[in-house]
Amino acid sequence: MTEENEPKKLRIGVIFGGQSAEHEVSLRSAQAVLAALDRSKYDVTLIGITRTGRWLPLEAPEDEVDPAKLMAPFANPEATDNTTHAALLPDPSLRGLAELIEAEPGMGLEFGQPLDVVFPVLHGPYGEDGTLQGLLELANLPYVGPGVLASALGMDKVAQRELFRAYGLPVIAYILLKRRDWQATAGNESARTALRNQIEERVGYPCFVKPVNMGSAVGVNKARDAAELDRALDEAARYDRKLMVEKAVNPRELEVAVLGNDEPIASVVGEIGHASEFYDYQTKYMTPDNEYHIPAKISSELSQHIREMAIKAYLALDCAGMTRVDFFLDRPTHQLYLNEVNTIPGFTSVSMYPMLWEASGISYPALVDRLINLALERHADKNKNELYPM
């Protein structure tokens, strides 16, 4: 075959790292994605975002992914004398990436290879929450995963629940609180008691206190009495201007991977077994012995029901590409609740989302291919829209 006859390779931009508590997980997810990308089909442009939000154009390892090589610029990025910044420009005619070079006397600008598709392998705020997706929309680039609205809803635990409720999907009782209203009661015991009374009436103890927009159980705490509630609200208030308090249940934690655009499919159901009181950051990422049960040991009727609910939730939020949908099955009452969705779920080789697909017959590399195709399909569909009447 001559070169001209070979199908053109797609240039994929992989963005990872980021300003979130899930920075480390993102590095590992990106490493797994890079290892799975078939280099006979894809050219890779690698963009790493440091913890302080700096964008670095990185050397994409040719084939074998050497983790040390990928991670090196992140060891101490602010200390490097790297004077090059990566920039994704919103002008759609540029199709992507530029490199800004700090040079005397001004800034140099160099354009990178035009991108065909972007895979944001970023978890949490400023990556999974619609902000980056907005930039990719402006640039008119196809990208993996849900769009702006679904991503933002996926990050906002209250907004998504309100929609779930509207679609008749079961959610745990909760109360929403503004940080400023909570903090305004500091030093005013009667005001504080009144606020606490409202929470105790609507939710009661034990309860879970969470920042509304966050992930990885950052700022999430269980409260068993008024003193713990105060402490938990103070802590959640460090991370968001909206706080939620919800009834604590004693859950089995069940998760489903959903894949697709307008006709999504659901994987088998998985279960997370963990010894600690709840699935907090420490348990998620620092303890090696979390157990995944794939498929979960539940009846086939329940499994079917959960998978249908996962698809309903996916469509309710207008997700695209992928999303992991997480459920609680309350042990004492057997009541099933939709807990939350993750629009860019952990993507390491041992993460739940890809493992659920492995168990459902889609290998990790095939999954990455499918996600890229779904991104292209959704982008083509969007580009059927006329911008204004001709």
Ligand X SMILES: Nc1ncnc2c1ncn2[C@@H]1O[C@H](COP(=O)(O)OP(=O)(O)O)[C@@H](O)[C@H]1O
Which residues of this protein are in contact with ligand X, per CB under 6 A?
Answer: 172, 208, 210, 215-217, 220, 246-249, 251, 253, 278-279, 339-340
Which residue carries 């952990």 as its tokens? 346
Tokens of 157: 């635990």
Q: Which is nearer to ligand X, 112 or 125 (CB)?
A: 125
- The alpha carbons of the chain give a radius of gyration, in whole angstroms, of 22
Is the sign of the CA dihedral 88, 91, 92, 93 positive or negative?
negative
> Helix, strand or coil for residue 201?
helix
Report in angstroms how near the CB of residue 362 gets to ligand X at its nearest: 24
Report in angstroms how near the CB of residue 324 gets to ligand X at its nearest: 10
Q: Which is nearer to ligand X, 142 or 251 (CB)?
A: 251
With 0-12 CB in 10 A as exposed, 13-18 as middle and 19+ as buried, what is 62? exposed
Residue 160 CA: distances (Å) to CA of 8, 106, 200: 40, 46, 23
Report in angstroms how near the CB of residue 200 gets to ligand X at its nearest: 16
Q: Which is nearer to ligand X, 126 or 278 (CB)?
A: 278
Q: Which is nearer to ligand X, 7 or 288 (CB)?
A: 288
Report in angstroms how near the CB of residue 375 gets to ligand X at its nearest: 24
Q: Which is nearer to ligand X, 220 or 311 (CB)?
A: 220
User: What is the DSSP code string of 307-366?
Assistant: HHHHHHHHHHTT--EEEEEEEEEETTT--EEEEEEESS---STTSHHHHHHHHTT--HHH
- The three state secondary structure string of 253-266 is EEEEEEEECCCCEE
Tokens of 333: 């009452």
Tokens of 136: 């990719």
Residue 121 CA: distances (Å) to CA of 47, 70, 266, 343: 10, 14, 21, 11
Q: Which is nearer to ligand X, 23 or 210 (CB)?
A: 210
Helices (H), the chain: 23-36, 67-75, 131-138, 148-155, 157-166, 179-184, 189-202, 226-236, 281, 300-316, 352-359, 364-382
Q: Which is nearer to ligand X, 210 or 242 (CB)?
A: 210
- Give the Cα separation of 74 and 51 in Å (integer): 9
Report in angstroms how near the CB of residue 272 gets to ligand X at its nearest: 8
Q: Which is nearer to ligand X, 158 or 220 (CB)?
A: 220
